[in-house]
Structure 1
Amino acid sequence: MKVFVTGGAGYIGSITATELLNAGHDVIVYDNLSTGHRDAIPEGARFVRGDLGQPKKLARLLAEERPDAVMHFGAASLVPESVANPAKYYRNNVAYTLNLLHAMLETGVNRIVFSSTAAVYGIPKTIPITEETPTNPINPYGESKLMIEWMLRRFDEAYGMRYAILRYFNAAGALPNRGEHHDPETHLIPLVLQVALGQREHIKIFGTDYPTPDGTAIRDYIHVQDLASAHILALEALDEGSRTYNLGNGQGFSVKQVIETARSVTGHPIPAVEAPRRPGDPPILIASSQRIQRELGWRPRFTSLREIIASAWEWHRTHPNGYRR
């Protein structure tokens, strides 16, 4: 298939583009490089620099290329920023996705795999989280992704546009030549590894009084290569109908477990400083990925926290400045 990948210069998008090429698909990456990196785009993918806020360019490009499907990763994704600047998130995520969907309609592209988020669930009342767990986002980022999910369902009902919605939990890990490089960095594992590299003095633990075994929050970490493989399986299943899946490891690891594992992997003491809880942080978030396992045969290959962190450490150790030359 020929696949049009928005946000394909970003962390998850670039690794999925790599896996698409490895699976024999043709790939066009469309990215404005506002947060992505040119060097992250794999060789073999055609790169077009552009913005989802350019509907005429989008429609022209889709008409010229005639892709079989779109994988949509392009989005703003910082929760605190979404609270401070919700207009940016409703514009970049919701309005710009509507531009993309209109361009797809105009050019007859009727398949899309959408990068959603566990943030659509907000603070769930039951664990593990299934696809039937009520959606109740607590920030504009999660709201913007849920709005897009609603649009996709309506576009399928009205126009027959097939979709796969993939709700991620905590993406982590790396390939040897592609990894996580955000500015600013907000994710726990790369922040911990920056301490090991001497780029930060310590890591902050936000909350040590949660109702968990060690008092710190528990999260589900899924290796980015496992995410990529799920995207390809979902893409290939779209002929059978639209679908929504959670993507997680199915296990929970606490903040202290992440830090201790990173100490073991890196051989660095990684000083930690306790800090108050952040508002809105749930004690535990763990996914059930039983539906995609049952329906598509997907299984996470990287299930141990140690191997996830080890792959991330290999990337950060050999690319201490990320994609900066």
Structure 2
Amino acid sequence: MEILRRAVLAVALIAGVAAAAGAAPPSGAAAGKSGAATPGAATAKSAQARTASAAGGQHVDGVAAVVNDDVILQSDVEEQLYLLLARAQQQPDSDMVDTLRRQVLDQLIDDKLIVAEAKRQGLTVSDVEVDRVVEQQLAQKVQELGEEQAFREQLRRENTTEDRLREKYHHDVRLQMLGQRLLAKQFPSRAVPQAEAEAFFKANPSKFPKAPAEVRLSVIQIPVTPDSAASAKGRDAVLEARKRIEGGEKFAKVAADVSDDPNSARSGGDLGFFTQGTMEPAIDKAAFSLKLGKLSDPVLT
């Protein structure tokens, strides 16, 4: 079988010679259930649900938790649990139901804490803002189900109505927006200058994950045959392409014009990112010895 050799003009755009990861800002909440609350934050007390029988066989609703002066009823927990199970369309065992019930209660306590802390800090959300998001969510729900009739059927399966769903969305959206504003106030965003970020990275390398160096490689591939005349012709074609690029033409345009490989030509010669040792040895050596944004000499592979 005839073996073809290719003279390759490669440019390596070095994406990074060391791994770097953006440091996420610390996250926090208005108050935690672990006992480490922020100053002035609300506190929550859990209580076992109690159901008592009154005269005539009526049942008194139990208290699931008390958050400051606000009470979470057992019926609140059971309602949220019912909706959760209805949407999941599964039949979990009793242990799973108990776990979900505890998670629902924890979430309801968190919700009360967020509202209390937002109120303490004077944060509010207008009805106009909430209504706009609620209408968007309802429209999206109908769109996901495909038609209005399917939406009505889903409401029936969940044993609810559009008004009740709207009320729930209204509560959830207001809570979410309050939480976002509370978080933004507690941890305001700050643009970090590039020089400051690089200085922090260099001073704290142990805080960042390690990753191998990568280069982003773009190539122009021109085939040559084993005879010397064809080889010289191929090299001349590569040098001519290099001359066009050095003269100001975009690498991607030249690659699209003259590269023999149709796949890389369509992407302007871009092959993506590579770590050292994953390419052909000749190309690997040329790519990792180049400076950022520079052109290599022709490489024979």
TM bucket normalised to smaller: under 0.3
Q: Whose Rg is larger? A: 2
Task: Tell me the TM-score normalised to structure 1 length.
Answer: 0.19
Asked which structure has the greater RCO (Cα within 8 Å, sep 6+), the reply is 2
Q: Which has the higher helix share?
A: 2
Task: Tell me the TM-score normalised to structure 2 length.
Answer: 0.20
